[in-house]
Chain A
Amino acid sequence: MKHIPWIILAIIGAVALSVTATVRGEQINALWIVVAALCTFLVAYRYYALFIARRVMRLDPARPTPALYRADGLDYVATDRRVLFGHHFAAIAGAGPLVGPVLATQMGYLPGTLWIIAGVVLAGAVQDFMVLFVSMRRDGRSLGELVRMEMGPVAGTIALVGTFIIMVIILAVLALIVVKALAESPWGMFTVVATVPLAMVMGVYTRWIRPGRIGEVSILGFVGLILAIIFGQNVAASPFWGPVFTFTPVQLCWLLIGYGAIASVLPVWLLLAPRDYLSTFLKIGAIVALAVGIFIMAPPLRMPALTQFVGGGGPVWSGALFPFLFITIACGAVSGFHALISSGTTPKLIASEGDAPFIGYGGMLMEAFVAIMALVGASILDPGIYFAMNSPAAVLGATPESASAAVTAMGFPVSADILVQTAKDVGEHSIISRTGGAPTLAVAMAEIFSHVVGGPAMKAFWYHFAILFEALFILTAVDAGTRAGRFMLQDLIGLAVPSFRAHSSLAPGMIATALCVAAWGFFLYQGVTDPLGGVNTLWPVFGISNQMLAAVALMLSTVVLFRMKRDRFAWVTAVPTVWLLVCTLTAGTLKLVSADPKVGFLAHASIFSEAAARGEVLAPAKSMAEMRAIIFNDRVDAALCAIFLFVVLSLLLFTIRTCIAARRVNAPTAHEITPDMVPAE
């Protein structure tokens, strides 16, 4: 009897999913996708998560968690599961699940929807949940330490190096999204710049005026943000201030690099902490508002289910559906970076092993829901506007007329007037080639929010609200990520030069910060100056790296299952591991050696180096120096792909070796840490 409501839910989900998947040639309502996703997630949580908890992991609610046996009231605190769910979700959800699905929409709404739904249920949520479980049984240790414990020191070091490079790529791609959203947009730029002094005022407030009053100071900051958005319109319109806040992408790139270097060495209370309050609360608020807005508006999907770009040749990113769709949508379906959160603060706060499915599996389902909403957002726009915003300038040309002609030729008719009018509606000079996903999502959010509150007159406000919300938490991530990268680098260099590891001394910290900023700054500059718009090149590299980290986390989980003598159930992690390995190894190899210069870095480099040898300058390069820069960038990207392939293949060997060794032994060999091994605090 208790299964009946779940069966009904499953039937509703199946109907919604089949409507989503089979209707062609006419527009369907966005709610079909939302309902299909919600029903699938609930059923998966009720049955698959519980199956993993009871049968695979054999969770024991009576077994003390680190939060209990190590309780210190600070880092290790037994926390209410609902409170912890909020904490965990806020830590995992960022820009990734918002951007990837928007980019993936170039193939139509269907491929992305199916991958998010299937990917999260079978891979993404399993990964988060498994890593949380593994870490929770080992004192809440971090991913690098867990790999070292279960697979040996060499594997641990390789995983650390891989994690650092992934961090660098993430920072570069996030910063690139901000550059793309704020370039030539004085209104957006002003509001984002205004957050810096605003955050500093908040920092001073929490430091000296009313220490620790986060609620008060956040309301103060929120009012400031709204004023900055409203006032930004006047700034943009002003003949003097408008140009002052108008920057080219290259100028913005240098500003961001300078910002990252300075912000990451300031005291945390001055800028990072107060802006994190704003960005965290704004993020949660905007996500909730988006969900409510989609339900109220119930918009039809104007993007077709499938476009002709399924086979490759799309303007937003290169390559065919397999394997590139599966790396374009990483966060939202399966994100390796979550393994760092699931082995970070969350396992130290979990009150009972019984809470782990809700937090680990459920938290990731929630993020997948955010990804579904982003995909819906991109799909309710006129496809003509979507492709005009997301195709590189090299395809569209610079004027509304040339963009309209180019997009219409793709098969998505759109008039130049509509492109001009859409830009005017959202208070921008132009929407042509605003790549990176964030501006597209902002137009969609403006559409949804203005339908609910304020009507068309509020569109420009909501557009800049959405841009600010995305830019704000990306900048916070850049600042925090640079700090985290600095410590990772210090630890890594410390393996060779032990004195470098001292976290408190000045010189190593400064050097590591500079190296870290230089590393992501290099890729950011490369992306900004890339004639294809940068997102085209960098997002796939980011996707590959993130999915490879996911594969590493799932391989660790598989090893742990083998060492626990639970190999009968190892398919739970082995199947998604194999799928991720197939996708990332194929994508990584294609990026490296594909003969198609749009896909393969080396093929692209050799076309340019052959031309350079003949003394020719190929477009988009305008000089020999630019030719050399393009060749160099291609080779760096290729080397990066090679490193990722090495990391994942070597860890695969360690995994196989460890699993075989575990099978030879009759007793469990997993290195769990039990309460009696830890002295009470």
Chain B
Amino acid sequence: MRALLERMREMALLMVGQPSYDAYLRHMAQRHPDRPPMSRVEFFRNREQARYGGGGGRCC
């Protein structure tokens, strides 16, 4: 049940262009331990701009 809710939360966030922050942290820790990762808010802003700045990503 918990897993299902978590997955639905993740799905809702990705629907509006926000991928998982935890997955991002894991990626940074694994591949770029030397670089400081973005904070949660920076990550949110970065993804917000990426989704909406170009305008695309939506259909008729």
The reply to whether A345 and B54 contact each other, CB–CB distance below 8 Å, is no
Asked if A185 is an interface residue, CB under 8 A from chain B, the answer is no
B16 near A480: Cβ-Cβ < 8 Å: no
A-contacting residues, B11-60, CB 8 Å: 11-20, 23-28, 31, 40-41, 43-60
Measured in the bound complex, the distance between the Cα atoms of B59 and A44 in whole Å is 24
Assuming the contacts A83-B11, A211-B41, A484-B55, asked whether A276 and B60 have C-beta atoms less than 8 A apart, the reply is no
On whether the beta carbons of A87 and B52 are closer than 8 Å, the reply is no
Q: A486 — which chain B residues lie within 8 A by C-beta? A: 55
Contact A73 B12 (CB under 8 A): no
The answer to whether A487 and B7 touch (CB under 8 A), given A73-B27, A337-B60, is no
| Proximity string of chain A (538-550) to chain B, C-beta cutoff 8 Å, 1 when within and 0 when not | 0000100010000
Contacts between chains A and B (CB distance < 8 A), count? 136
Q: Check if A335 sits within 8 Å of B60, measured CB to CB.
A: yes
Residues B55 and A481 in contact, CB atoms below 8 Å apart? yes
Residues of B near A340 (CB, < 8 A) are 56, 59
CB distance from B31 to the nearest CB of A (A): 7
A539 to chain B, nearest CB (A): 11
Cβ–Cβ contact A83 & B60, under 8 A: no
- The answer on a CB contact under 8 Å between B11 and A212 is no
Whether B56 lies near A484 (C-beta < 8 A) is: yes
Are A480's CB and B55's CB within 8 A?
yes
Using a CB-CB cutoff of 8 Å, which residues 475-513 of chain A contact chain B? 476-477, 479-487
Chain B contacts for A94, CB-based, 8 A: 58-60
Given the interface pairs A280-B16, A284-B15, the reply to whether A92 lies near B59 with Cβ below 8 Å is yes
A82 at the binding interface (Cβ < 8 Å): yes
Cross-chain contact of B15 among A86, A95, A268, A272 (Cβ < 8 A) = A86
Nearest chain B CB to A253 CB, angstrom units: 19
Find chain A residues with CB under 8 A from B45 CB: 211-212, 269
Check if B56 sits within 8 Å of A82, measured CB to CB: no
Q: Which residue of A lies closest to B47 (CB)?
A: A74
CB of B50 within 8 A of CB of A75, answer yes
| Smallest Cβ-Cβ distance to B24: which chain A residue | A73
**With the chains together, A225 CA to B17 CA distance in Å?**
22
Whether A487 pairs with B60 at a CB distance below 8 angstroms is no
Question: Whole-angstrom distance between the alpha carbons of A284 and B26 in the complex?
Answer: 30
Task: Tell me whether A83 and B7 are in contact (CB under 8 A).
Answer: yes
A264-282 residues with Cβ-Cβ distance < 8 A to B are 264, 268-269, 272-273, 276-277, 280-281
Bound form: Cα–Cα A349–B50 in Å = 14
Most central of B49, B53, B57 by chain A CB within 10 Å:
B57
- Pairwise interchain contact B24-A95, C-beta atoms closer than 8 A: no
Report yes or no: B52 in contact with A174, Cβ–Cβ below 8 A: no
Judge whether A335 and B59 touch: CB under 8 Å: yes
Contact status of A212 and B28, CB under 8 A, knowing A95-B60, A268-B52: no
Give every chain B residue within 8 A of A335 (Cβ-Cβ): 59-60
Does the CB pair A276–B56 fall under 8 Å?
no
Q: Which residues of B contact A83 (CB under 8 A)?
A: 7, 10-11, 14
Q: Are A80 and B50 in contact (CB under 8 A)?
A: no
B26 CB contacts on chain A under 8 angstroms: 73
The 8 Å CB contact of B31, one of A93, A546, A681, is: A681
B5 → chain A closest CB, angstroms: 12
Interface string of A33-69 (1 = CB under 8 A from B): 0000000000000000000000000000000000000
Determine if B11 and A477 form an interchain contact, defined as CB atoms under 8 angstroms apart: no
Assess the A82–B11 pair: CB atoms within 8 A: yes
Interface size counted on chain B using CB atoms at 8 A: 40
Closest to B26 in A: A73
B31 touches A71 (CB 8 A): yes
Query: Are the C-beta atoms of A483 and B60 separated by less than 8 Å?
Result: no
Contact partner of A268 (CB less than 8 A), chosen from B9, B46, B48, B60, is: B48
Enumerate chain A residues within 8 angstroms of B60, measured Cβ to Cβ.
94-96, 170, 174, 331, 335, 337, 477, 542, 546
Asked if residues B14 and A277 are in contact (CB atoms below 8 Å), the reply is: no
CB distance from A116 to the nearest CB of B (A): 16
Q: Mark A362-390, 1 if CB is under 8 A from B, else 0.
A: 00000000000000000000000000000
Minimum CB–CB distance for B29 against chain A, Å? 10
Contacts of A170 in B (CB 8 A): 60
Docked-complex contact B55 and A482, CB < 8 angstroms: yes
Closest partner residue, chain B, to A78 (CB atom): B23
A459 at the interface (CB under 8 A from B): no
**Which residues of A in the span 210-269 have a Cβ within 8 Å of any Cβ on B?**
211-212, 214-215, 264, 268-269
CB distance from B26 to the nearest CB of A (A): 8
Q: How far is the CA of A75 from the CA of B18 in the complex (A)?
A: 10
Asked if B9 and A215 sit within 8 Å, CB to CB, the answer is: yes
Beta-carbon nearest neighbor of B22 in chain A: A73
Assess the A214–B31 pair: CB atoms within 8 A. Answer: no
* A91 adjacent to B58 (CB under 8 Å): yes
B18 proximity list for chain A (CB < 8 A): 214
Other-chain contact of B40, A72, A73, A212, A281 (Cβ < 8 Å): A212
Q: Does A137 contact B (CB under 8 A)?
A: no
Are A268 and B41 in contact (CB-based, < 8 A)? no
A96-B59, A337-B59 known; A90 vs B28 contact (CB < 8 Å) = no
Decide: A483 and B54 in contact? CB cutoff 8 A.
yes
Q: Give which listed residue, B16, B19, B55, B56, contacts A277 with CB less than 8 A.
A: B16
A340 to B56, CA, bound (A): 9
Contact A276 B52 (CB under 8 A): yes
- Knowing A73-B23, A214-B18 touch, does A483 contact B55 (C-beta < 8 A)? yes
**How long is the Cα–Cα vector from A486 to B52 in the complex, in angstroms?**
13
Q: Are B58 and A77 in contact (CB under 8 A)?
A: no
Query: Do residues B57 and A480 form an inter-chain contact, with CB atoms below 8 A?
Result: yes
Interface residues of A in 527-545 (CB under 8 A from B): 542
Residue A341 lies at the interface, judged by CB distance under 8 Å to chain B: yes
Residues in A with CB closer than 8 Å to B24 are 73-74, 77
- Beyond A83-B7, A268-B49: 20 further Cβ-contacts under 8 Å? A73-B23, A73-B24, A74-B46, A77-B20, A94-B60, A212-B40, A212-B41, A214-B16, A214-B18, A269-B48, A341-B57, A341-B58, A341-B59, A349-B14, A477-B59, A480-B55, A483-B53, A484-B54, A486-B55, A546-B60
Chain B contacts to A: CB under 8 angstroms? 7, 9-20, 23-28, 31, 40-41, 43-60
Q: Which 7 A-B pairs have the closest CB atoms?
A: A483-B55, A212-B44, A73-B27, A268-B52, A484-B55, A73-B24, A86-B11
- A/B interface sample: 29 pairs, CB < 8 A: A71-B27, A72-B27, A73-B23, A73-B26, A74-B47, A77-B20, A77-B23, A79-B14, A80-B7, A83-B7, A83-B14, A87-B14, A87-B15, A268-B49, A269-B48, A272-B52, A273-B51, A277-B16, A281-B12, A331-B59, A337-B60, A338-B59, A345-B57, A349-B19, A481-B58, A484-B56, A485-B55, A542-B60, A680-B31
